[in-house]
Chains A and B, each alone.
Chain A
């Protein structure tokens, strides 16, 4: 019964009931990874021994009649910036290969292991998470399972492609400006970027502390919510993480659309040349009975401010290596990091002050609405190596513009679920369901209703 299309909760139920052993599930996943990795180039490390050891321990626990976690036996993999004990965290770089193996698992890995999930490896990404395409010069481009000539999106491209291609049912990524939401959209799967400060980033290599989030990918809303619920709880080792008890989203998924107020973001989020993206938003809006449109204030400035903060903070983190060995960086990130190191302090501080202003204005909108809908990307997956795209009649560089619609939202930490709209004969595009801070469960509930209605789905491509 174990094949690429099995979901996480389906696997956990089968393991719990003894219809399949954790060992069988893991061996099937390892075989799929070996074959799939040659096509998609998703994994940078496969933790075969650890996975087999964990699976054997689960089967032994089941044999003794012990309690098993909600994700028992579910194979998962993490973006290669989450620490895995005994493995060197590469973060998509050549430089970090020289680092010693991580001493301990990242907090998120510990949480998923506690829930019974089985780690099977680490996944490709843009170097140091600075990109939207996962065209990594050191480890090669990750390929989109829907079309191998296309990018998977980034920076968590390996995480999205591994789930979209059916290698694992769950994965973890990070999102600073769109790095979960862009690859979710381009690979046609579900992704969640929770509220800033909700989940602990401890043991995940930072990129931009002011804007970094971690979150899950899955092929169904229930799997996504189950993974998110397993990641919640009091967090340690992350200064931005707020001490709050878990607020499980899974029990609320069946509540449907009753009382849910949805609006569509217009203006900035609907420029000329994004008709395909607007079309998928319209399908989702219709199903959510979102008849009103709303214009968020000063969105272009919000994106600009996020852009400046990202460059400056990201560069500061890597300053020592930029001084000593700039040539060892991926050419796709190097010049941006070098420029970011030179950004005047006034630009950064003004951007942080603007963030405060923008947050206040956007939060006012949530007084009269529950979710805002916007496209996740301006288009479907571009070709690998595609340097430019056309937007509003202008030719613009592809890579930064993939984050056009995601960057202004992570800027103020709003929780966002990306739901994938499949299009017959064409590549999928995702829609962002944006909620007020700490209301992940509302966005997930809307996503579940859309999935139940057949409007959004994430089948593994043939």
Chain B
């Protein structure tokens, strides 16, 4: 299965605008880099199949 590569720069600009979160030009490269890292982490989570019955707990019990 192939998926389109995550375009972190475009995403950062759109999501920041939607959230009304100003990103200063000098901070943007670092934010994009960190979002790329997060996307790589999220890919590991998202590609793992979970049954519908597995729900997030409102309050986690160890």
State the A residues within 8 Å of B (CB). Answer: 195-197, 210, 239-240, 242, 298, 300-301, 303-305, 307-308, 311, 319, 322-323, 326-327, 334-336, 338-344, 346-347, 349-357, 359, 412-414, 437-438
Contact = CB atoms under 8 A, between A and B. Distances in A.
Given A326-B23, A359-B62, 6 more contacts: A304-B42, A319-B21, A338-B21, A347-B42, A353-B50, A413-B60
B50 to A, nearest CB: 5
A347 B46 contact: yes
B62 A350 contact: no
A270 B12 CA distance: 36
Nearest to A397: B37
A197 B59 CA distance: 10
B1 interface: no
Contacts of B12: 339, 342
A357 B54 CA distance: 7
Nearest to A438: B62
A396 to B, nearest CB: 11
Contacts of A349: 56
Given A301-B44, A327-B24, A341-B21, A311 B38 contact: yes
Nearest to A240: B59
A316 B38 CA distance: 15
Contacts of B23: 326, 338
A343 B46 CA distance: 13
Contacts of A347: 38, 42, 45-46
Contact of B11 (A338, A342, A353, A359): A342
A335 B41 contact: no
Contacts of A323: 20-22
Interface in B1-55: 11-12, 15-16, 19-24, 27, 30-35, 37-38, 41-42, 44-46, 48, 50, 54-55
Given A342-B16, A357-B50, A413-B62, A350 B30 contact: no
A188 to B, nearest CB: 28
* Most B CB within 10 A of own CB, among A300, A301, A326, A335: A335
A153 to B, nearest CB: 21
A327 B27 CA distance: 9
A393 B42 CA distance: 24
A355 B27 contact: no
A414 B62 contact: yes
* Most B CB within 10 A of own CB, among A305, A319, A322, A339: A339
Contacts of B59: 239-240
B31 A335 contact: yes
A338 B31 contact: yes
B59 to A, nearest CB: 6
Nearest to B30: A335
A283 B22 CA distance: 52
Given A304-B44, A342-B19, A210 B24 contact: no
Interface size bracket, B side: 20 to 34
Nearest to A347: B42
Contacts of A197: 60-62
Contacts of B31: 335, 338-339, 342
B62 A336 contact: no
Contacts of B62: 195-197, 359, 412-414, 437-438
Contact of B56 (A298, A300, A353, A413): A353
Given A308-B45, A343-B38, A335 B57 contact: no
A356 B56 contact: yes
12 contacts: A307-B38, A319-B21, A322-B21, A335-B31, A335-B33, A338-B21, A338-B30, A343-B42, A347-B46, A349-B56, A353-B56, A412-B62
A339 B56 contact: no
Contacts of A352: 56-57
B60 A334 contact: no
A267 to B, nearest CB: 15
Contact of A326 (B27, B45, B56): B27
Contacts of A350: 42, 45-46, 50
A356 B16 contact: no
A195 B46 CA distance: 27
Nearest to B32: A339
Given A301-B45, A311-B38, A350-B46, A338 B27 contact: yes
A342 B27 contact: no
Nearest to A327: B24
B29 to A, nearest CB: 8
B22 to A, nearest CB: 7
Nearest to B34: A339
A105 to B, nearest CB: 25
Given A239-B59, A342-B21, A308 B38 contact: yes
Contacts of A242: 61
Contacts of A355: 56-57, 60
